[in-house]
Each structure stands twice: as structure tokens, then as C-alpha cells.
Amino acid sequence: MRRFTIVALVMVLAASVGSSVLAQGKGKGKGTNQATSASLTLNLVNDADGDGVVSYGDTINFTVQQTETNMPYVSLMCYQGGTLVASSITWPDPTTLYSRAWQSGAADCVAELFYFSSPKKVVLATLSFPVAE
């Protein structure tokens, strides 16, 4: 019986140490999914065709709110039919929605608010939006 008690005690101790180590890995800057108060808002800076919606050829930027880092970035990736046609790091500078690979037409875009915590990229917020023709 004493042997069973010792084995059980060792297992409980090992489990508590293991969960403590796992909890430490979920801290800030570890590249884990964690709740943040970050937000990313799309702004139409120049509506080239005057239709009031985000379209090919328009200029956009993003409003960023976050408290995680003093060096946030926003990446923008746009796809047509699943093919990447435009990508850039855009914040705080505005970007115009076109590229050599994207000559015209609608696209689906994704913006990510992120920062680097060596050696990982930590994503704070994402925003998907359509771009009209």
C-alpha cells in the first residue's frame, strides 16, 4: 500500500509541475493564441471610382489600436480565385489596391496586425474584406 501511495504522490507532483510549465509558455510574446484588446479597422483614403466601397485602384489604410508592442505592423494579402495577387506591409502608410499581378477585378483581402517576438510572429488581430471591381 505504501508503494502505491508513493507512486500516486509522484504522479500528482509530476502533473502539477507539467501544468505549471505549460502555463508559463502561454505568456506574452510566446507566439501563442491569447486574448488581446487589439483592433484593426479599414479606412478608405481615396475612393478612385467614387462608388463609396473598397474597389480595385482605391487607396486604403488601417486604424490600429493595441497595447502589446511599440512596433506593430499590418500585412495585407489580396487573392483572386485563391491566387495571391498583392501583398505588402502597409501600416501606417496608405496603400493602393493594385499590383503587376493584379491588373483589374475583384479580390478577397486579409490584413493582419502583428509584431515580432523573436523568433515568432505574433498576430494580434485579422480583418478580411472584399475588394470590388
Percent of the chain surpassing pLDDT 70: 73
pLDDT tens string 34-60:
556 899 999 999 999 999 999 999 999
How far is residue 78 from each of residues 20, 86, 112, measured CA to CA in Å?
41, 5, 12
Model confidence at 91, pLDDT cuts 50, 70, 90, reads confident
The pLDDT tens digits for 61-72 are: 999 999 999 999
Mean pLDDT of 93-97: 95
- Looking only at the bridges linking them, the beta strands covering 59-65 and 73-80 are unpaired
Give pTM, 2 decimals: 0.71
- Over residues 111-132, the pLDDT tens digits come to 999 999 989 999 999 999 999 9
Cβ neighbourhood burial of 75 (10 Å; 0-12, 13-18, 19+): middle
